[in-house]
Amino acid sequence: MVTTDGPAEQFYPGQGLGLPSSGVGSVASMGRRIGAFVIDIVLSALVAWSITAPEPPQNTSLVVWAAMTVVTVGLFGITPGQAALGCRVVPTGGGSFVGLWAIPRTLLVFLIVPPLLLNADSRGLHDRLCKTIVLRIR
């Protein structure tokens, strides 16, 4: 028996948002997003070390990461790590700039847990709260 009362079953992330199942414009995989995050963290640590050397950077690397993320996502929708791995943050309501949503989004990513709370569209809690999604750009 088939009913039409509830939402349709979703077979791939992004289907509910009308996105393609693969290729450009599809939802970026968790592996791609984690890889981009690691690249951004390493880059931030290197920049922080260049500021504090010969002392260890300690929390300076977190400040560099947060500033880099807010500025690059807010203005361009992409961090250096995301650029390297071919993904980008875009608003779900259309448009191409995340703008000030980059601030709470970065704070939520800093907490680590919100990005791990995924829904059927593979969007973390931080993306759902900030009305964004991470898509493949190549």
Q: Above 90 in pLDDT, residue 124? A: yes
Is 112 a member of any domain? yes
Q: Is the per-residue pLDDT at 37 higher than 80?
A: yes
Residue 26: pLDDT over 50? yes
- Exposure class string for 9-41: b at 16+ Cβ within 10 A, else e: eeeebbbeeebeeeeeebbbbeebbebbbebbe
pLDDT of residue 14: 94
Q: 15 lies in a domain?
A: no
pLDDT exceeds 80 at position 4? no
Count the domains in the chain.
Answer: 1
In a domain? residue 11:
no
Output the pLDDT for position 5: 52
Arithmetic mean of pLDDT, 91-118: 93
Full-prediction pTM beyond 0.85?
A: yes
41 within a domain of the structure (yes/no) = yes
Q: Contact, 60 vs 71, CB < 8 A? A: no
Q: What pLDDT is attached to residue 93?
A: 85
Residue 86 lies in a domain: yes
Residue 126 resides in a domain? yes
Domain annotation covers residue 70: yes
Q: In this structure, is residue 124 part of a structural domain?
A: yes
Q: Which domain holds residue 70?
A: 22-136
pLDDT band at residue 95 under the 50/70/90 scheme: confident
